[in-house]
Amino acid sequence: MVNIHAHKSDLKRITEIIKAMLDVDAAIFDLDSQLLAATDEYINQKGHRVHAPSIQEVLTNGRVVVNKPGHMPACSGCRFLGNCPAKIEILKRFGPSSGPLGVVTLTSFSRQGHDKITRETKTYVDALRLFSGWIADLISDRDKGRAYTESEEILNTLMDISQDAMLTIDTRGMVTRGNTQALKLFAFCDLCTRSAFHILPESMVDKILGGNHIKAAKILISNRQTFLSARPVYTNEEFTGAVLTLSRQATASFEKKGPADPGMEDAGLKKMLGKTPAMVRIKKTAARLSGSASTILITGETGTGKGLLAKAIHQAGSRKDRPFIPVNCAGIPDTLFESELFGYEEGAFTGAKKGGKPGRFELAHQGTLFLDEIGEMPLHLQAKLLNVLQDHSFQRVGGLAFIPVNVRVIAATNQDLESLIREKKFRADLFYRLNVIPMDLPPLSERKKDLPLLCRAFVKTANDRAGTSVKGLSPEVMDLFYAHHWPGNVRELQNIIEYSVNMTPDKEIGRRDLPRRFLDNLDKIPGASGTQADPWDSPADQPGASMKQHAIRVQAKAIQDCLDRYGHDVNGKKKTARELGISLRTLYRKLERPA
C-alpha cells in the first residue's frame, strides 16, 4: 500500500515550484481530505483543515474548476460558505491507473489571478495535468526504492507555459535551465553557461541565494526595466535553488508594493561610496573610461573594493549589457589554470567533457574579463595571456584553431608587481600591457572621512539581510572606528557592522555589540581602548582637535611604539607593519606624513 504521507517534503517542494512557475498557490490532499503540503499563502488563507465534500467531488469526477468559491453546491457546510478567501480554484486527482492517491489544487487569492486563470483556463488545466503526473511518478518511484529525478521535459514544458522569462538556479547561482522567453531576454549571452551573478544585480542574487522570496523587484536588463520575482526551493528543509521569473510588466498589486531593487539604484559607480578626494578622482576616472577598451590595472590592499570598482567600470561602459566574468587567479590550481582561462577541446586530457568546454575568455566575449589577484597567475601562462591581449585570439587546450575574442581586461592585485618582476615572478612585458590605465584604491585608514557614509550604507544593507531595524552606531563606536587601523579595510568594516546588526538587541550598535576580536585588537593600540591617561589621547581634553587629527595621532603613537620595540631599520618596519595589520607601503606613507 502506498504511504503518501512519507513524501510530504517532496510534495511541499512541488507546491513551491508550482508557485514559482505559475504564480498561483497550490495544495495537495490525501484520500481522506487531509492536507499533505501547501504553499505558505494557502495555509495563511485557508488553514490546515479543508471542506471534505469538495475533495470527494474531485475524487469522483477527476477534475473540477471552482470559479465561484464559497457559492457552489460543494461548498455547502463549509466554514467559508459565502465568504471564501479563494477567488478561483482548479482541482485534479492524481495517482496511477490502479486508483487515485489524492488531489492537487491550483488556487488564486487575488482578483488579478482570477482574471488570468479565467482567460487562460486551458493553459492552467494542462499545467495541472503535468503536475499531477509528476506527483504520481515521484511517489511511485520513491515507494519502489528508485531515485526520482525531475524530467527535463516536464520542467521545460511547465516553464514554457509561462509567458514570462523563467530561470532555475542552483545553490551557487548557476543557471540550470531557462525557458524560451528567458533565452530571448538574454540573447546577448550563452545563458546556460552563466551564473546569475553575471546577468542580475549582485545584491539581488545574494538575497535569492539567502533563501529569500522576492516579489517584482525592479532591475535593468538590456537597459529596459524588468520585474524580478524569485522563490526559493527547499528539499528536506535544505535550500536547493530557486525559480526566477522576469517580466516586463508588474501586476497591479506588485506595482504598488514591490520593493525597488537596491542593485539598480546603487548600480555601477554609485556603489563606490566615498567623498574623499582620492575616491572622487577614482570615480571620475572610471566615468571617463566608459567608452574605452584599454586594459586597467587596479591596485590596493585586500578589502579595499577592487572587485567592486572593476564591476562599476564595466557597468559604466558601453559593454554593460554584455558579460562580466570574474576570475580569482589565487583560487585556481596551477594544473587547471590554462583550461579554466582558455577552455579545452574534447579529448584534450583524461576527464575532459564530451564536446569540450569554453573558458573564461570565451564566456566574456564582447564583455569584460576581470582577473583578480593577477600576481598569482603562473609564470608559464603569463606569456599566453600577453599573446591574447596583443592578438585578440587564442587556442583552447588541445585545440588547433585560433578563436577570435573581443574582451576588455581589467586586472587587480594587492601585491607590488614591480617587486615581483625583479624577483622574476612576473613578466615585465605583461605588466606594461596591463598597466595602460593604473588605478590605486586607497586603504580605509587613509579615507576615514568616509566612515559615516560607509557605516550608514552597511547598516542599511545588514538590516535588509537580517530583517532588523537598527538605526545606526553610538558615538562611542564611531570613536573606536576612527581609532582603528582597519587592516581588512572596507570589507572588515562591512563584516563588523553586519555582525553587530545581528547581535544588538537595541536600535543603536554599542560597544558590547562589536566582535570580541575587534575589541581585542583595539586594546593593542594606545588610546583606542579608552584606558590611556595621556592628555593628548582624548579629544575631550582638546576641544579644538578634530576626530581625524586624533585618530592620526593615535596611529602615529602606535607606530612609534612598535618601531621603538622592533627597531627603525627595514626589518623593524616589516615587523611593525605586520603587528599593526598594514602593508609596508602604507607604513612608509604614514611615516612620511607629519603627525
Residue 577 CB partners (closer than 8 Å, separation 6+): 583, 584, 586, 587
184: number of Cβ within 10 Å: 11
User: Which pLDDT score is estimated for 236?
Assistant: 59
User: Which pLDDT score is estimated for 156?
Assistant: 58
Q: Distance between terminal CA atoms of the chain?
A: 83
The amino acid occupying position 441 is L
Phi, psi of 411 (to 5 degrees): -115, 155
Give the DSSP letter string of 66-109.
Answer: ESSTTSSGGGTT-TTTT--S-SEEEEEEE--TT---EEEEEEE-
Q: Are strands 408-413 and 296-299 parallel, antiparallel or unpaired?
A: parallel
pLDDT tens figures, 507-551: 899 999 998 888 877 655 544 444 333 323 333 333 334 555 655
User: Which pLDDT score is estimated for 21?
Assistant: 74
406: number of Cβ within 10 Å: 12
CA distances from 138 to 161, 169, 239 (A): 21, 21, 20
The amino acid occupying position 335 is T
Give 315-384 as a 3 state SS string.
HHCCCCCCCEEEEEHHHCCHHHHHHHHHCECCCCCCCCCCCCECCHHHHCCCCEEEEECHHHCCHHHHHH
Neighbour-count burial for 338-357, b at 16+ CB within 10 Å, e otherwise:
bbbbbbbbeebeeebeeebb
User: Which pLDDT score is estimated for 540?
Assistant: 37
- Please report how many Cα atoms fall inside a 13 Å half-sphere around the Cα of residue 232, on the Cβ side: 20
Residue from 109, 114, 135 nearest 41 by CA:
109
Phi, psi of 251 (to 5 degrees): -70, 165
Per-residue pLDDT of the chain (595 residues; tens, 9 = 90+): 567 888 887 788 788 778 877 778 999 998 888 898 898 888 888 888 888 888 888 888 887 777 777 777 777 778 887 788 888 888 888 887 778 888 999 999 888 888 888 888 887 888 888 888 878 877 776 666 554 445 444 555 566 666 778 888 888 888 887 777 777 777 666 665 667 887 888 878 888 888 787 877 888 776 677 888 887 776 656 777 888 888 876 543 333 333 333 333 334 566 778 888 888 888 888 888 767 788 999 999 888 889 889 888 888 877 877 788 888 888 888 888 888 888 888 877 776 767 678 888 888 888 889 999 999 898 888 999 999 998 888 888 888 888 888 899 999 999 999 999 999 999 999 999 999 989 999 999 888 889 999 999 999 988 887 888 899 999 999 988 988 888 889 989 999 999 999 888 888 999 999 988 888 776 555 444 443 333 233 333 333 345 556 556 667 777 887 887 777 777 778 888 777 767 776 777 777 665 4
Is 297 in contact with 438 (CB distance < 8 Å)?
Answer: yes
* Cross-strand pairs, 344: 357, 397
Cell 579644538 belongs to which residue? Answer: 544
Task: Quote the CA–CA distance of 22 and 16 in Å, as a whole number.
Answer: 10
271: number of Cβ within 10 Å: 20
- The one-character DSSP state at 174 is B
- Domains of the chain from N-terminus onward: 4-156 (3.30.450.40), 162-263 (3.30.450.20), 269-442 (3.40.50.300), 445-592 (1.10.8.60)
Query: Would the pTM of this model clear 0.75, i.e. be above it?
Result: no
Q: Which three cell numbers stand for residue 324?
A: 562580466
Q: Which three cell numbers stand for residue 293?
A: 577598451
CA distances from 108 to 12, 67, 111, 254, 385 (A): 17, 10, 8, 15, 56
- Please report how many Cα atoms fall inside a 13 Å half-sphere around the Cα of residue 153, on the Cβ side: 3
DSSP E strand boundaries for 435-590: 437-440, 472-473, 508-509
Exposed/middle/buried for residue 227 (C-beta within 10 Å: 0-12, 13-18, 19+): buried
